[in-house]
Structure 1
Amino acid sequence: MEQTPKANRIHIGFFGRCNAGKSTLINMLTDQPVSLVSDVAGTTTDPVSKAMEILPLGPVVITDTAGIDDTTELGALRMEKTEEVVKKINLAVYVLRTDEEPTSDDMHWLGLLKQNNVPVALFINEINAVPNNLTESKASIGRDILGERYIADYMGLSDLVTVIGSADFTSDAKRLELLDLLGGLTPLDVEGEQTLLQGLVGEGDTIILVCPIDSAAPKGRLILPQVQTIREILDHKGLALVCQTEELPVMIHSLKNPPKMVICDSQAFDRVDELTPDSIPLTSFSILMARFKGKLQDLVAGVKAIKNLKAGSKVLISEGCTHRRQCDDIGTVKIPNLLKKQGYTDLQLEFTSGGAFPKDVSQYDLIIHCGACMLTRREVLRRIECAVVQSTPIVNYGVLIAALHGILERAISPFVDELEG
């Protein structure tokens, strides 16, 4: 569980006003000083994340966010960061205090979570001491306002919100109770039973993985999609055979029976296609990721826009991770060169990486996205939806490369029933 990639974890965001108790709550849940705690409003600036395990949810990432009523000079920028968190998480915990009535800020952010269909656990932070400006009677009213009746009446949130009550931050029993309550929630947009090789591999099946080792390959290890694919083959009690491109024919001929499938790095698609008999199904790690993380149908549909590219067309090339660029980096070097080789010259190329992805993509004639192994399924779906809603074609690396080499039909043939369904 501790080694589960961040992108494969359930992401839980913690929201609320300054000094609502978000950071203290996270420190209690993780049993570690993850977030800085202070009476000074605005202590939490940028989102802070911590990986842990919450059963039965499994591996999760907990993210602390800035107070939603941050009025400091950088408050607006911090709210943009918080809004990005809303679009990536699978669950939300919203923290309110019993000595303060809900404000328009609370309503706005609860509404934003509802708009994004994020299940919300409402945590009521019971403040034992009654402030001088709040009578005991008003404090009791505050507890009622913050109860289930208030949430049920507000914007129809009762279908999403689970009220998990007040807590003593120093109580181990309350910590375990809260973990149990969080573990019982149903997260949004997680893979669930869907797996990378869903329906493609069974016990005893032989799968050949073609993993080129070039200057862009990480020294001493394989990239994440390759590792995940090997692990899943082993989980299904299949046989995973790994080789580089030019060793593929020898490996195929050494087998008594043909392999169930060949999976390759998209950058080697054309050569692997030449070396793999037509009778053996072929696809790439990137296309498997497109199927696993997002909507392969939309990414395949975006291929039609490639032939419409001309001089001056604007193309966004977006990667979900940040890494040191190599001289033959796929996103900034290899794909632009491949487009030029295919006759698509003088394009206006723009690049984004990591969490950066523009809200307005209508200006682009095409979006080319990476395999997204470092992004959550929710974030990938959001980016695809953003493109589709704005009528901007989107493809991913594997789909684009296969199309440019004229082998897309072969590369997606293992999923033809799903694409037609």
Structure 2
Amino acid sequence: MNMQGLEASPKASRLHIGLFGRRNAGKSSLLNALAGQPAAIVSPVPGSTTDPVEKTMEMAPLGPVVLIDTAGVDDEGQLGRQRAERSLRALRDVDVALLITEGNSWSDFERRLLRLLADEGIPFAVVRTKCDLHDAASLAERPGDLPGNILVADVSTVTGEGLAALRELLVRLAPGAQDTPPPLLHDLLPENGLVLFIVPVDSGAPKGRLILPQAQCLRDCLDGRKLALTATEKEIAPALAALSRRPDLAVCDSQVVHVAARELPPSQPLTTFSLLMARARGNLTQLAQGAAALSHLRPGDVVELREACSHHPQKDDIGRVKLPRLLAKIAGGPVTTRMLAGKNAESDDDPRPKLVIHCGACTLTRRQMLRRQHDARARGIPMTNYGMAISYAQGVLERVLSPFPDALQAFGEALKKERESVSSFSKLKRSSL
């Protein structure tokens, strides 16, 4: 077991910094210089970088970050154009970007990147590399069409000149407090609040450790100076009996939500790890609205299942086995599910899905999850997540949404609209017969 990996900050909690520019502009050399090690291949041969390269590290004074090196946007040939397009897709995954140029080089490629970064609302700066090879007079001039409010840094990966200043500049570019995601759960609890975690230990549980959402929620309680008790779904009654007061909140794995809802008193506030992750990583209210589409799922409908990571499916995999089974229960017959796993999986509207259901997104940043929600809305397709779909199938979604009044209200209103729409369609169909 890799203890370093267990002790490190999860990727989803790190600032993602993307390096973009033309081939041989010095992107890989800059990544290596910032990382302090040869993480990316450096070569005078154009096109050495193919797929985006990620380097996880601690960078003072920023803290935990992920540096993403990309292929040149001016790559040529059929394969080169594919590499360039993948680089541009990586724009959607970064919190901050560096537009890399060699000296004062400035062309349509840089102008296109500048427009894309501005359109995406990504904080960025222009970094002019190899400043040791250019005289100060030439670097004193900015390209005429480069807006004056764009930050510019000059660096040399050979001499180290400008690297310290670039790190300070990245601090200025980093998203502010207004963009910080909410805590996972400690803000839902009073002072000295108590939470009961209900964690199943079955064949799907990793040996010797908790899964990421469970571990992160426990750490969030410690950060917020809250109290926590952890038990399996089979020890709920003994856990409650061991306490001198009722928990302020119970949090369970979605797969045992029906057990938790049955074993806990109706007055006990209850939610799931999946909903807590949805609030921290994306827009919980919009996902609750999307869950209302489950109410008119019918046999044969297409449902797009999305997972942030790629993992080896188990025999009773949630997304590939359990969820399709529950969707069939909701629809009254089998539905057609289409699984898209990994960061670069492309959605397909042929045939058009009735609904998108996303995993808990524990490996995505907030920006990455919000982007996926935005893409679903742009396609005109409602989107919810695994935990909400499971809770809906078990008849307890409104209960697990109750700690989040805005999301509960959004679900109720969307559900009412869905039912009114179905009723209107049925009346219209009967009148046409």
* Alpha carbons 2:186, 2:220 under 8 Å: kept: no
What letter is aligned with 2:124?
V
Distance 1:226 1:190, change over 3 A: farther
* Alpha carbons 1:263, 1:282 under 8 Å: kept: yes
Instruction: Name the counterpart of 2:417.
Output: none
Instruction: Name the counterpart of 2:312.
Output: 324
Instruction: Name the counterpart of 1:230.
Output: 218
For the pair 1:93 / 2:98, whether they are aligned, the reply is: yes
SS in 2 for 1:199: helix
What letter is aligned with 2:205?
A
Identity fraction in percent: 39
Note the residue ranges of structure 1 that are not aligned, 5 or more in a row.
131-135
For the pair 1:78 / 2:73, whether they are aligned, the reply is: no
Instruction: Name the counterpart of 1:103.
Output: 107
For the pair 1:388 / 2:377, whether they are aligned, the reply is: yes
1:364 aligns with one of 349, 353, 376: 353
Q: How does 1:9-408 map to 2 (within 5 A)?
A: 9-98=14-103, 100=105, 102-129=106-133, 144-146=141-143, 150-152=145-147, 158=149, 161-164=150-153, 166-172=154-160, 174-187=162-175, 192=180, 194-359=182-347, 361=349, 363-408=352-397
* Cα offsets for 1:21-58 (capped at 9, x unmatched): 11111111111111111111001111111112234432
Per the normalisation by structure 2, the TM-score is 0.87
Alpha-carbon shift at residue 340 of structure 1 (Å): 2.1
* Alpha carbons 1:48, 1:65 under 8 Å: kept: yes
Alpha-carbon shift at residue 344 of structure 1 (Å): 3.7
- Partner Cα distance (1:140, 1:235) in 2: 51
What letter is aligned with 1:150?
D
Alpha-carbon shift at residue 9 of structure 1 (Å): 0.5
What letter is aligned with 1:57?
L
Greater helix content: 2
Distance 1:78 1:92, change over 3 A: same
Tell me the matched-pair count. 404
SS in 2 for 1:96: strand
For the pair 1:414 / 2:403, whether they are aligned, the reply is: yes
Distance 1:381 1:190, change over 3 A: farther
* Alpha carbons 1:245, 1:272 under 8 Å: kept: yes
- Partner Cα distance (2:84, 2:34) in 1: 24
Note the residue ranges of structure 2 that are not aligned, 5 or more in a row.
411-433
* Alpha carbons 2:181, 2:366 under 8 Å: kept: no
Instruction: Name the counterpart of 1:133.
Output: none
SS in 2 for 1:15: strand
* Cα offsets for 1:297-323 (capped at 9, x unmatched): 111111221122222211001111111
Alpha-carbon shift at residue 111 of structure 1 (Å): 1.1
Alpha-carbon shift at residue 61 of structure 1 (Å): 0.2
Alpha-carbon shift at residue 356 of structure 1 (Å): 3.3
- Partner Cα distance (2:367, 2:297) in 1: 29
Alpha-carbon shift at residue 332 of structure 1 (Å): 0.5
* Cα offsets for 1:97-127 (capped at 9, x unmatched): 2253x22122112211111111111101245
Per the normalisation by structure 1, the TM-score is 0.90
SS in 2 for 1:171: coil
* Cα offsets for 1:106-153 (capped at 9, x unmatched): 2112211111111111101245557xxxxx9xx95676243xx53217
SS in 2 for 1:19: coil
- Partner Cα distance (1:395, 1:93) in 2: 33
User: Moved runs in structure 1, 4+ residues, more than 4 A?
Assistant: 126-130, 139-143, 188-191, 359-362, 417-421
- Partner Cα distance (2:48, 2:253) in 1: 45
Report the aligned-residue RMSD. Answer: 2.3
